[in-house]
Amino acid sequence: MKEQLNDLVKRASEEAKKITNESEYLNIKSKYLGKKSELNTYMSNIKNMNSDDKKLYGPLFNKLKKEFDNLFTKYYEESLNKNEIITFDPTLPVKEVDGSLHPVTIVARDVTNILKKMGFMVLDGPEMESEYFNFEALNIPATHPARDMQDTYWLDNGLLLRTHTSPVQARAMQKYGAPIKMCVPGRCFRNEDLDASHENTFFQLEGMVIDENISISNILYVMKGMLREVFKQDIEVRLRPGFFPFVEPGFELDCSCTICGGKGCPTCKDTGWIELCPCGMIHPNVFEESGIDSKVYSGFAFGLGLTRLAMMKYKINDIRYLNSSDLRHLSQFNIR
């Protein structure tokens, strides 16, 4: 019996190596594990064995059954991977597809390309974020009223959906230290009631510069340079005080209205200005929390609303179009 079993194992292993597709996998399974298989015949003979043999062969047959099954599955899965390598050639040119880039993708690319030219690196961060990076590391402790303005979705795994791209400020400081110039385009979430200008899912672009002697004039220089490139025209900007716990001083940066050129129109509510980008000088507590000496370094950060920018650039009057997947809307932006 032992010899027969050894022989069976040998044959099954040899054949398993030859599996190249699903039908071969199913055939070999039925041949070695099916009702009419050799192994099954041996198993049904067990009732005629003496009790010592029963004790020996009973568990052995079961073990073999499992091992065969694992073996066949393993070679079948390997064959799938091999097939994939053969059919997917990453060097082939991209196929012409019918469609266009999403307006938010277009402005995200525009802005990151401009910032890259200024020496910013482009980073990414998790959309499922910890309370520590989303709030605490940014000088927003659990009891801080600023948390009310950024109500979010808490997940069963203890994480939350990030309410802004700012957590990547702290992540980047802890990973790369100072000096640093970086930007982070990304998706953010807030528990909002939806209307024409509020969505629960939107996009921001975080920017951060840390070095010695960085001041507010650096913010203005970078923002003006960036907006000039985005809108292909000179844009006036102004700073108003704004409060965010992770910057001091903090500002709202407004730009002159691109629709009326600053004269006053419905879009800018007759003020000539459009609120575009909160920003400010990084708070010493944020530096210290992430291990950067605030007596040596200073820096600024901004959180550009990419969704807002896309709406301004393409004159989209309702934010809900952007996540609607409506092809009639998307196909208007014929840019690839």
CB atoms near residue 115 (< 10 Å): 23
| Distance (Å, whole) CA 280 – CA 302 | 7
* Contact track, ligand PHE, 46-65, x by CB under 6 A: --------------------
User: How many residues sit close enough to ligand PHE to count as binding (CB under 6 A)?
Assistant: 11
Contact indicator for 187, 201 with CB cutoff of 8 Å? yes
CA angle 77-6-61, nearest 5°?
75
283 scored as a contact of ligand PHE (CB under 6 A): no
Structure tokens at 8: 């069976």
* Among the listed residues 165, 138, 161, the one whose alpha carbon sits nearest the alpha carbon of residue 151: 161
- Binding-site member from 170, 219, 226, 279 for ligand PHE (CB under 6 A): 279
Q: Which is nearer to ligand PHE, 302 or 321 (CB)?
A: 302
Select from 183, 278, 287, 306 the one that contacts ligand PHE (CB under 6 A): 278
Least distance to ligand PHE, CB of residue 146, Å: 9
Distance of CA 214 to the CA centre of its chain: 30
Q: How does DSSP classify residue 209?
A: E
Spatial neighbors of 109 by CB under 8 A, at least 6 apart, are 101
User: Binding to ligand PHE (CB under 6 A): which residues in 229-248?
Assistant: 244, 247
The interface region with ligand PHE, picked from 22-30, 39-47, 64-72, 272-280 by CB under 6 A, is 272-280
The distance from CA 132 to its chain's CA centroid, rounded to whole angstroms, is: 18
- DSSP for 9-64, please give it: HHHHHHHHTT--SHHHHHHHHHHHHSTTSHHHHHHHGGGGS-HHHHHHHHHHHHHH
Considering only residues 129 through 168, tell me which ones interact with ligand PHE, judged by CB under 6 A: 164, 166
Mark 190-229 with x for binding to ligand PHE (rule: CB under 6 A) and - for no binding.
----------------------------------------
Q: Which is nearer to ligand PHE, 27 or 285 (CB)?
A: 285
CB of 204 to ligand PHE, least distance (A): 6
**Closest separation between CB of residue 301 and ligand PHE, Å?**
4
Interaction mask 289-318, ligand PHE, x per CB under 6 A:
------------xxx---------------
Name the closest residue to ligand PHE (Cβ): 303
Instruction: List % helix, strand, coil for the chain (3-state, nearest 5).
Output: 45, 20, 35
Q: HSE (CB half, 13 Å, CA atoms) of 322?
A: 29
> Which residue in 103, 185, 186, 280 binds ligand PHE (CB under 6 A)?
280
Task: With beta carbons less than 8 A apart as the criterion, state whether 138 and 246 touch.
Answer: yes
Cα-flanking dihedrals φ and ψ of residue 20, to 5°? -125, -10
Interface mask toward ligand PHE for 246-265; x: CB under 6 A: -x--x---------------
| Closest separation in Å from C-beta 262 to ligand PHE | 24
Binding mask 162-191 for ligand PHE (x = CB under 6 A): --x-x-------------------------
* Residues of the shown chain interacting with ligand PHE in the complex, contacts defined by CB under 6 A: 164, 166, 244, 247, 250, 278-280, 301-303
